[in-house]
Chain A
Amino acid sequence: MTDIECGDAAWNQAVDWLMREHEESLDDAAREALIDWLASPAHRKAYEQARTLWLVTGLVPTSDEQSDPPSDDD
């Protein structure tokens, strides 16, 4: 079982940060909190990994793009 990284608390927190950023741009307090969180090398590593995953999941063609034309653009 290769679930180590997903079970990892740091990875989970990194994804939470990315999801939060997706919802709304972070205010100064939140940004400070994130920078504090990133002070740990383990956290930075988790964040890098999650950020890369975040990017590549956004690059997958949609089912629409593979078959029928979508009704509108995103």
Chain B
Amino acid sequence: MQDAQILNLYTTHQRDLLSYASSIVGDDGRAEDIAQDAYMRFSTAMSDEWRSNPVGYLFRIVRNLALDCRRRAQFEKALFSHNVDDIVEAIPAEKSAPEQEVMARNELELLQEAMDELPERTRMAVEMHRLGGYKLREIAAHMNISVSMAQYLVKEGIKHCQRRLSSTASA
């Protein structure tokens, strides 16, 4: 996909993306940051190949970034209110845009490889959970397995992804 097409697609949906992000994090300023981050990640992922549902993918990126932002904000607030020291150390330093882009690209490639390596059932459970946003009982029902088995499969898959990322980071 060409840069102009990517930008065009983003600007077409920008308003909806912003209100979607804002509905999750409850803050317009944060929503702006999320949309910008999403655009960077989206253009990184789209530059190499065409994907059939780019709009759905773009919204999913915004959703995941917004949920993560909300989770982070909640915890920072909770930790401050409980006087937990040295929180700053736990918050990663801001990286420059080119650095972020390289990291995002490498991560995506590695994770795609890692997911491709998973046994079929594990991969299906992880994709439904992490990409489809399904809950464990929905995955269990769809795959005709128990909820605890669904949980086990998702966790095994996530572990494998962590192993792949950390083995590269420390190599």
Q: Which A residues contact B (CB, under 8 angstroms)? A: 2-3, 5-6, 11, 15, 19, 21-23, 31, 35, 38-39, 41, 44-45, 47-70, 73-74
Contact = CB atoms under 8 A, between A and B. Distances in A.
B165 A62 contact: no
Contacts, number: 126
Given A6-B162, A22-B135, A53-B165, A73 B56 contact: yes
A58 B108 CA distance: 10
Given A35-B82, A55-B64, A58-B60, A44 B53 contact: no
B16 interface: no
Contact of B158 (A31, A53, A63): A53
A39 B72 CA distance: 15
Name A's interface SS: helix
A60 B111 contact: yes
B65 to A, nearest CB: 7
Contacts of A55: 64-65, 68
Interface in B116-171: 126-127, 129-133, 135-136, 151, 154-155, 158-159, 161-163, 165-167, 170
